[in-house]
Each structure stands twice: as C-alpha cells, then as structure tokens.
C-alpha cells in the first residue's frame, strides 16, 4: 500500500484550535447545525463535552508519554460513542492555550507549540488536520480586555508588551516548528463575512459545490435583518458562479444594510494611540501577506486577495 493509499484509509480528524475571539463558537454552532448532513457523508461532529472530557482524561493518564495505537482507538471510540465515521471535526479555542497563557509573554500564544503537540499526538495514526483563525492583534487584545476574562493576565500584558512587536507570524512559526507535517489552514476573522461558506467546506473536507446550512452565520451580527433576507433571496435567484461574485454581492449588501456599530471596531487600550494601532495593523497585514504566500499553509482569503 502506498503512502497515499494509507492516508486515504485513515480516519480524517480535523481540530480547530482557536484563537480566542475569532469565531470558534460560531464554528461549533455551525457544525451542530450541519450535523445531520455531515453524518450522511460519514462526517461526525461530536458534542464538545464528549471530546473535551475524553481528551483531557487521556492526557492526564499519559502524563507526558505518547499514546499507543490502542489508546488512540479507544479515545475515538469514546468520542464517537460507537458511531462509525470517515471524518471527525472538533473545535476548542483553548487548545491553542487558555487565554491567560496566550497573554503571559511578549508575544501572542507563546506556548502554542507545546500546548498543541500533545493533543495532536493523540491522533498520531489518523489523518490529522488543524485550522486556526487570526485577528488584528489590536482587536484581539481589546476583546480580551472587554471580555473581563483573564483580567490579571490582560492587564499585565498591556503594561509590559511593546505593541509593535506583536506578530502572528511568530505564533504560526512556533506551531509549524512543533508540527511541521500536519496540514494547517488559516484565515482572518475579519474576512469571515465573505469566506464563511469556504471555511466550513474546508473544515469538513467537502467539495466547492457542497451545500451547507448556516452559510450566513458570520453575517448575522453585521447586517440588518431586512438586508439579510434580501441577500438570501437575491442569491437564491442569482446563484454566483465564482467566489468573487459571491463576495461582491455580500459586500454590496453590507454597504447598503450593514450595521454601522457592528462594522466599526474601536480600540481604546492604555498606551495604544492611533499611531500604535496603525503600526500594529500594518504589521498584521504584512503577516497575512507572508503567511498566505507560504507553501506549508492553506490560507483562505477573499478571492480579490488570492494569488
């Protein structure tokens, strides 16, 4: 059996590992919404409580040791509750690291490699895939502060970090160094209103023409209800032939029906003036350009940015 045949015969396991404030909850909800259709295709989206409990329990029992193949099989049996599946999809923003640990150094998610590697090792015999969404570091830190979660870590981070040094490339490099052979898909949370159907198809391993429920999940908080209804009617009557056509249509409806407050992301962080935010944002855009050009990453970007 060739290496390609062996990969095809293995169960595909997709782990979405975060980051915080970048749509992981939306992914979990969309997976649940599509669970029946996915099951018909041999794709399982088990309840989060099942896989979190099963994976945490095994990691504690292993105490740093790698699992043997029978332990991996038992883990998937526990997660799937006796169901068979060609693919399993699971998501948890804390796999990249708990929020407090994401903000305990001078860069974002400094321990992501050592956090994710033991989790990935649980699926050593599977066809493992990872995905992660990124977000402008200024908006990310603002969301951390606004959430009230990990307040001490957030305050210490704001006191000690040099904002201009925050680069997602550093985070991604640490992850790739720990897991260089695991396929990784990235996208920007800011782009999700335009690319959400593509994101869900990529996570599920489905073809471009696959129909999914919840294709407007990333738009609901950004567009007025009337505009969303009109958009759905328009797309039903004028199915876009390309991703670019779909994105142009969504942008047109956002321009007309977008909620101004939802589309504006103010940043009010101590010590972060307009010049600092502009620098952080420019570095973010530079990082996205660099990451999207890498051969070892699948980067989902709006069609207008592709290539």
The tens-digit pLDDT sequence of the chain (307 residues) is: 344 334 435 899 999 999 999 999 999 999 999 999 999 999 999 999 999 999 999 999 999 999 999 999 999 999 999 888 999 999 999 999 999 999 988 889 999 999 999 999 999 999 999 999 999 999 999 999 999 999 999 999 999 999 999 999 999 999 999 999 999 999 999 999 999 999 999 999 999 989 899 999 999 999 999 999 999 999 999 999 999 999 999 999 999 999 987 767 789 999 999 999 999 999 999 999 999 999 999 999 999 765 4
121: alpha, beta or left? (left if phi > 0; alpha if psi -120 to 50): alpha
CB contact set of 49 (below 8 Å; sequence gap of 6+):
none
List the domains of the chain with CATH numbers. 3-212+274-300 (3.40.50)
CB 297 within 8 A of CB 185: yes
Whole-angstrom distance, CA of residue 6 vs CA of residue 3: 5
161 three-class SS: coil
Q: Measure the CA–CA gap between 75 and 55, rounded to whole angstroms.
A: 7
Beta-carbon count within 10 A of 38 CB: 21
Q: Is the pTM for the entire model greater than 0.85? A: yes
List phi, psi (to 5°) of 78: -65, -40
Q: What is the pLDDT of residue 306?
A: 57
Distance CA(132)–CA(16), nearest Å, equals: 6
The pLDDT of residue 9 is 58
26 in Cβ contact with 203 (< 8 Å) = no
Q: Is residue 183 classed exposed, middle or buried when 0-12, 13-18 and 19+ CB atoms within 10 A define those classes?
A: middle
What residue has token string 């670019």? Answer: 244
Token couple for 74: 């038992």
Res 34: pLDDT:
96
In the prediction, which pLDDT does 262 show?
Answer: 77
* Residue 296: C-alpha distances to residues 10, 111, 291 (Å): 21, 20, 9
pLDDT given for residue 6 in this prediction: 42
């Amino acid at each position: 059996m060739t290496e390609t045949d062996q990969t095809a015969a293995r169960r595909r396991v997709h782990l979405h590992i975060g980051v915080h404030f970048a749509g992981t909850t939306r992914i979990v909800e969309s997976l649940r919404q599509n669970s029946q259709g996915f099951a018909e295709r041999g794709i399982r989206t088990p309840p989060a409580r099942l896989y979190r409990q099963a994976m945490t329990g095994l990691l504690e029992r292993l105490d740093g040791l790698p699992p043997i193949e029978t332990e991996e099989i038992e883990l998937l049996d526990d997660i799937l509750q006796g169901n068979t599946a060609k693919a399993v999809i699971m998501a948890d923003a804390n796999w990249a690291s708990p929020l407090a640990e994401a903000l305990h150094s001078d860069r974002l998610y400094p321990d992501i490699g050592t956090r994710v590697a033991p989790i990935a090792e649980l699926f050593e015999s599977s066809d493992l895939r990872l995905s992660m969404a990124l977000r402008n570091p200024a908006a990310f830190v603002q969301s951390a502060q606004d959430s009230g979660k990990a307040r001490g870590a957030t305050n210490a981070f704001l006191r000690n970090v040099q904002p201009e040094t925050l680069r997602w490339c550093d985070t991604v490099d640490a992850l790739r160094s720990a897991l260089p052979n695991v396929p990784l898909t990235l996208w920007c949370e800011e782009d999700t209103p335009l690319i959400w159907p593509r994101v869900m198809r990529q996570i599920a391993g489905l073809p471009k023409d696959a129909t999914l429920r919840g294709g407007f999940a990333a738009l609901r908080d950004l567009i007025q209800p009337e505009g969303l209804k009109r958009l759905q009617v328009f797309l039903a009557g004028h199915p876009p032939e390309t991703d670019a056509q779909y994105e142009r249509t969504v942008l047109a409806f956002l321009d007309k029906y977008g909620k101004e407050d939802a589309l504006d992301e103010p940043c009010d962080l101590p010590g972060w003036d307009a010049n600092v935010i502009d620098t952080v944002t420019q570095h973010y855009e530079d990082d996205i350009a660099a990451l999207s050009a890498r051969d070892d990453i699948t980067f989902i970007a709006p069609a207008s940015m592709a290539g």
